[in-house]
Amino acid sequence: MGRITPEAYRQTPGCGLAVVLDNIRSAHNVGSAFRSADCFKVDKIWLCGVCATPPSAEIHKSALGAEESVPWQYAEDTLEAINSLKAEGYTIVCAEQTIRSVKLNDFQPLADKKYAIVFGNEVDGVRQDVVDASDITLEIPQFGTKHSLNVSVSVGILLWDLFSKRL
């Protein structure tokens, strides 16, 4: 099927997107984020706060080994990750519903910019101080009664959208 090895994956350039998981409680959601990140050749995943970290049987169950190919780093505090990413030239994007959030379908990423997308806790979302430190908040348009998606679904949607718009 033309799949590359984890070693070859780590040697190829990333896509200019990074993922930050802000206190994600479910190791299965963390694993799913790894799997989506692998699919789109994400530069790095930051695991922050209470996030489970590899090696973990629960992460592996949904990541299917992507935790071995996608570079990752742990930060006790999400702002530590944000500051590091800003120093590397990333624009910080929070996936969150706020009064100033931009609808995902209205957002056009610039081809020459790198973006780090922050995804928040399954119940509380992205911490307010992290939202305040971000450059933009993006909201996935939703039309049903719930107005929320599982974080693993949101990761897939945002990565695909930003990746495809930059092609």
Give the chain's end-to-end CA distance (angstroms, integer). 23
Confidence of residue 127 (pLDDT cuts 50, 70, 90): very high
Domains by residue range for the chain, with CATH: 6-165 (3.40.1280.10)
pLDDT at residue 148, as a whole number: 86
Tell me the three state secondary structure of residue 109: coil
Query: Which two three-digit tokens encode residue 20?
Result: 């930050």
Evaluate if residue 147 carries a pLDDT over 70.
yes
Show Cβ contacts of residue 77 under 8 Å, excluding neighbours closer than 6 positions.
Answer: 48, 49
pLDDT tens digits, 57-105 = 999 999 999 999 999 999 999 999 999 999 999 999 999 999 999 999 9
| CA 165 – CA 59 distance, rounded (Å) | 29
